């Protein structure tokens, strides 16, 4: 199943003043966020990627054109450094299509720009290139297939660390509750789409705000509620949290890695 990844945004909240790299290329451990997202999909057998490029396209292209397998795989070096034998490979079976979708395009416009690459599919996957999870992807896909829905999104609890304040008309606080305890969900990405999504997505429109709204009216949009690990990398604080998890060897999203990720099966179960 093809995987469309939106890699073209500026990601201004991530800027630290020391790098102009696009947000998907910000490092977590030895690899960029984009690589971690792609390895998650590859773990479940989805290795045909379409990258929607925009800002920082050259950084994405250069990373893969000069890919170094030894950064994340064991290897044997011999003959004075002239021969390298890899014990395993990350991207040997990957197919990656790089598409320039514009500097200022919306997610909907970027998806329309790669329409020809996915129109022949029964279903395809799509996602932001900077959000990590350990959600059970096969289960999410099967739910869409079984129900006949046209699209699905991952629904996650609010990620804010702030508290909801409930108070009287006089201003007396009655209750403080963490935002994560509210009976609400936010869009967590990790979309499963049928090509029919293009029938409700028009030029200049946004995928979630407009196309998904039309599907919701028709009851053709599913939400997969998930309370497991899900973390965006919108801010330096969130990126630091991901880095800390990686450095401590407790990175739940790295399902493919026994050293850093949790010990899980191919279905995402513990």
How far is 112 from 206, CA to CA, in rounded Å? 10
Average pLDDT of the segment spanning 162-185: 68
Average pLDDT of span 130-137 = 94
Confidence of residue 26 (pLDDT cuts 50, 70, 90): confident
Q: Which residue has the higher pLDDT, 103 or 164?
A: 103
What's the whole-number mean pLDDT along residues 172-179?
67
**pLDDT at site 82:** 72
According to the model, what pLDDT value does residue 268 have? Answer: 40
pLDDT (0 to 100) of residue 162: 58
Q: What average pLDDT does the chain have?
A: 84
> CATH top-level class for 2-73+85-157+184-247?
alpha beta
Residue 125's pLDDT is 98
User: What tokens were used for 95?
Assistant: 């197919």
Give the torsion through C-alpha atoms of 79, 84, 87, 92, to 10 deg. -160
pLDDT band, residue 266 (cuts 50/70/90): very low
pLDDT of residue 11: 58
Per-residue b or e along 116-135, where b marks 16 or more CB atoms closer than 10 Å to that residue's CB: ebbeeeebbbbbbbbbbbbb
State pTM to two decimals. Answer: 0.84
With CA atoms as reference, report the closest residue to 3 among 84, 123, 144, 100: 123
- Convert the pLDDT of each residue in 60-103 to its tens digit: 999 999 887 777 777 787 777 777 776 667 788 999 999 999 98
**DSSP annotation string for the chain:** -EEEEE-----GGG--SS----GGGSEETTEEHHHHHHHHHHHTT--EEEEEE-TTHHHHHHHHHT--GGGTS-EEEEGGGTEEEES--SSTT-EEEEEE--SS--HHHHHHHTGGGTTT-S-EEEEETTEEE---HHHHHHHHHHHT-SEEEEEE-----SEEEEE-TT--EEEEEEGGGSS--EE---EEE-GGGGGT--TT--IIIIIHHHHHHTT-EEEEE--S-EEE--SHHHHHHHHHHHHTT--TT-TT-TTTS----TTS--
Give the pLDDT band of residue 263 (cuts 50, 70, 90). very low
Q: Which of 17-26, 88-97, 187-196 has the lowest mean pLDDT?
A: 17-26
Segments making up each domain of the chain, as ranges: 2-73+85-157+184-247
Do 127 and 5 meet the contact criterion of CB atoms below 8 Å apart? yes
Whether the predicted pLDDT of 199 surpasses 80: yes
Rounded Cα gap, residues 68 and 85, in angstroms = 13
209 Cα distance to chain centroid: 19
Q: So what's the pLDDT on residue 96?
A: 95
Average pLDDT over residues 50-60: 92
**CA-wise closest residue to 128 among 40, 196, 65, 204:** 40
Residue whose pair of structure tokens reads 């920082």 in the numeric block: 56
The whole-number pLDDT of residue 177 equals: 66
* pLDDT tens sequence across 241-255: 999 999 888 899 999
Task: Quickly state the pLDDT bin for 269 (edges 50, 70, 90).
Answer: very low
Residues above pLDDT 70, as percent of the chain? 83
């Amino acid at each position: 199943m093809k995987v469309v990844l939106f890699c073209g945004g500026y990601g201004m909240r991530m800027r630290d003043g020391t790098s102009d790299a696009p947000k998907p290329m910000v490092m977590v451990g030895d690899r960029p966020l984009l690589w971690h997202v792609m390895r998650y999909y590859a773990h479940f057998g989805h290795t045909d990627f379409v990258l929607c490029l925009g800002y920082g396209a050259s950084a994405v292209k250069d990373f893969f054109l000069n890919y170094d397998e030894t950064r994340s795989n064991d290897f044997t070096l011999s003959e004075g450094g002239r021969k390298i034998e890899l014990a395993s490979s990350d991207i040997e079976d990957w197919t990656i299509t790089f598409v320039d979708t514009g500097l200022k395009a919306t997610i909907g416009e970027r998806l329309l720009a790669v329409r020809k690459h996915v129109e022949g599919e029964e279903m395809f996957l799509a996602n932001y290139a900077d959000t990590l999870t350990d959600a059970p992807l096969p289960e999410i896909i099967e739910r869409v297939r079984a129900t006949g829905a046209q699209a699905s999104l991952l629904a996650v609890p609010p990620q804010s660390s702030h508290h909801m304040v409930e108070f009287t008309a006089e201003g007396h606080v009655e209750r403080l509750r963490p935002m994560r305890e509210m009976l609400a969900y936010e869009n967590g990405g990790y979309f499963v789409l049928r090509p029919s999504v293009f029938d409700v997505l028009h030029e200049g429109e946004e995928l979630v705000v407009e196309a998904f709204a039309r599907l919701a009216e028709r009851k053709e949009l599913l939400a997969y509620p998930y309370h497991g690990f899900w973390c965006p990398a919108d801010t330096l604080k969130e990126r630091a949290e991901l880095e800390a998890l990686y450095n401590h060897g407790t990175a739940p999203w790295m399902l493919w890695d026994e050293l850093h990720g949790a010990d899980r099966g191919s279905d995402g179960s513990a």
